[in-house]
Chains A and B, each alone.
Chain A
Amino acid sequence: MLKNTWLLTMIRLRLALRNRAFFFFSLAMPLIFLFGFVVLVARNDRQWVPYILGSVMTMTVMGSFWGLSVQLVTFREQGILRRFRLAPVGAGPMLASSILSNYFLVLPVVAFELLVCRFAFHMHSLGNLWAMFALVTVGSATFASLGLIVASVTNTMQETQMINNLIWMGFIFLSGTTVPLAVFPGWMQRVSLFIPAQYLATGLQSAATKFATGYEMIEDVAALGIGLAVAFEVSRQLFRWEPEAKAPRRAKLWVLAALVPFLAFGTWETVTGKRLNHINRNFQMLTGRAMPGQAPPAR
């Protein structure tokens, strides 16, 4: 099983590196965002660079969600998975190799973004590298698994694209990735606590800005880690080799199961309120001013 996972991982890496679309979506796009945010939004204010880096790294890692779901549906629709099914290869290695190869592709891109920020935008430090490494590792696997779930519950590429777009919008606009959560009204902030991307975005922004201790970021890693374990198992259960095998109704229940960790963490965070305080405090430290209705930060 491990051997097959490795063989498939290596071949998927080669296939990705032969694909021009990969370079555009996985390398060029995040860099365009990085330059765009730093130059246009932060107006080259160095203080903002770590925060923007956290956001761009989040988008890069979340891209796993899009890439893997589309790839799996393409393979299934074209009948490529059927050919693999004839060989002694199980669903586990097929899925695990998708996640692993994706991780091996994401890691250098994230490292490159870090270096660009450090040397091109003169970021004063590299941030909390260990926390970044942990979040990128767990986060890419979690979002890849979530993408694989979408691929398993949708029956056509059109359906996949539609659902991906809806989820992606939620991920990038309600997680603090593109618009800082601190500028949202209270109810929207509370909604964000239930969104997987929020744990990744908050974690990576904290790691890049060094506004949180490693201990504080354990919660982000834990939410993503538990989410990963559940999402991977759900994607394995829902995996379909055949193009004409439609997703059964019970699949929807499995999808709900994949959301349970984030519902649990969201509920916990809503009750304690610690995470939102932490997010707002970090943003105040960055801007040097209090958000509406809050006391000014002591810097």
Chain B
Amino acid sequence: MAEPIIRVENLYKNYGAVEALRGVSFAVEEGEVFGLLGPNGAGKTTTVEILEGLRTPDRGVARVCGLDPERTGEQFKETIGAVLQSTALPDKLRVKEALDLFANFYRRRANTEQLLSRFQLEEKRNAFYSQLSGGQKQRLALAMALVNDPQVVFLDEPTAGLDPQVRREIYDIIEELKRGKKTVLITTHYIEEAERLCDRVAIVDQGRVIAMGTPRELKQRSAGKTRIEVRLARPVVNGTLGRLEGVSDSREFDGAYVLHSSSTPQTIVALVKQLEAEKNELQSLEMFSPSLEDVFIELTGRRLRE
């Protein structure tokens, strides 16, 4: 059996008393877009930075293209491209200069003119880094990750903090990488990002992979269940909503009650009756088909962005 292009086995990493990774394992096949989905502090960035060679694991194995990121130095760096969680460049560096500089570090180079046009940065080619908007900086970071035409691309929260339009632009770029059969490892806490872009997803929480599979496989766990989110005028007695007909799971997040129901109409009728009986009032009710968020809630009892 061929070696996966990324292999992570039993990775452990502590920062002082904080256990960032507690035995993370997964494998990524060539040409796959693999997502690490989890809340902040789950251990996604630590995992990616170990794979990029920026951090040393306390224990475990990390291999990219069969190479040990920690020991193979320049040979390893030639094979990867990466967007860090926050990329910074000198303020007075121009866009084209940055691309040319980084491209020239590598033996294998992409055409920087083509990268400028592909990432819609042609007009900004002579702009200083400090003059770019957040979206333009992120596009430049993505372009810089591709200057060596890498085999594997690591994207650490590439759309975090960007507005929806820029986020969609970045999705298009990642989808283009996917079509180009690049292996991409992406970390995110955006559900739609993982569902839209990833062939497979590992859900990470508190330094562990708690579920892994294609988005469809993972959502199968919640198959047939609808997520109902309600806001009420007054809080209800603990556990009341969990006993409603069809409800398999009920939790409260920031004043909203999230119910998972396998028989939605019956649950809603039962909910209305219960509220009438309690003289409570329904302020809002929303229904969602199952998503990776539901899988995460079921597995951890928390929301992704808590």
Contacts and interface: CB of A to CB of B under 8 A. Distances in A.
Interface residues of A, number: 23
Nearest to B104: A7
A19 B92 contact: yes
B82 A11 contact: no
Contacts of B52: 86
Interface stretch (A60-68, A77-85, A286-294): A77-85
Interface stretch (B57-65, B83-91, B177-185): B83-91
A78 B92 CA distance: 14
Contact of B77 (A7, A75, A82, A86): A86
B54 A80 contact: no
Nearest to A71: B90
A3 interface: yes
A14 interface: yes
A4 B87 CA distance: 21
B49 to A, nearest CB: 9
A90 B93 CA distance: 20
Interface in A203-241: 241
Given A78-B88, A83-B87, A11 B101 contact: yes
B174 to A, nearest CB: 18
B83 to A, nearest CB: 9
Interface residues of B, number: 25
Contacts of B128: 18
Contacts of A85: 54
Contacts of A80: 88-90
Given A82-B54, A88-B78, A242-B54, A3 B92 contact: no
B105 interface: yes
A19 B90 CA distance: 11
Interface string B201-221: 000000000000000000000
A89 B92 contact: no
A88 B93 CA distance: 19
Contacts of B78: 88
Contacts of B74: 88, 90
Contacts of A88: 73-74, 77-78, 105-106
A79 B86 contact: yes
B89 A83 contact: yes
Nearest to B90: A15
Contacts of A82: 54, 84, 88
Contacts of B89: 80, 83
B93 A11 contact: yes
A88 B107 CA distance: 10
Given A11-B97, A11-B101, A87 B77 contact: yes
Contacts of B54: 82, 85-86, 241-242
Nearest to A18: B92
B102 interface: yes
A11 B89 CA distance: 12
Contacts of A86: 52-54, 77, 80, 82, 84
B84 A83 contact: yes
A3 B105 CA distance: 8
Nearest to A10: B101
B215 to A, nearest CB: 29
Contacts of A87: 77, 102, 105-106
A109 to B, nearest CB: 20
Interface string B136-170: 00000000100000000000000000000000000
Nearest to A19: B92
Nearest to B145: A86
B91 to A, nearest CB: 9
Given A4-B105, A14-B92, A86-B54, 9 more contacts: A14-B97, A18-B128, A75-B90, A79-B86, A80-B89, A86-B77, A87-B102, A88-B73, A88-B78
20 contacts: A3-B104, A11-B97, A11-B101, A14-B92, A75-B90, A79-B87, A80-B88, A80-B89, A82-B54, A82-B84, A82-B88, A83-B84, A83-B88, A83-B89, A86-B82, A88-B73, A88-B74, A88-B77, A89-B105, A241-B54
Which 5 residue pairs spanning A and B have beta carbons closest together?
Answer: A88-B74, A18-B92, A79-B88, A88-B77, A87-B105
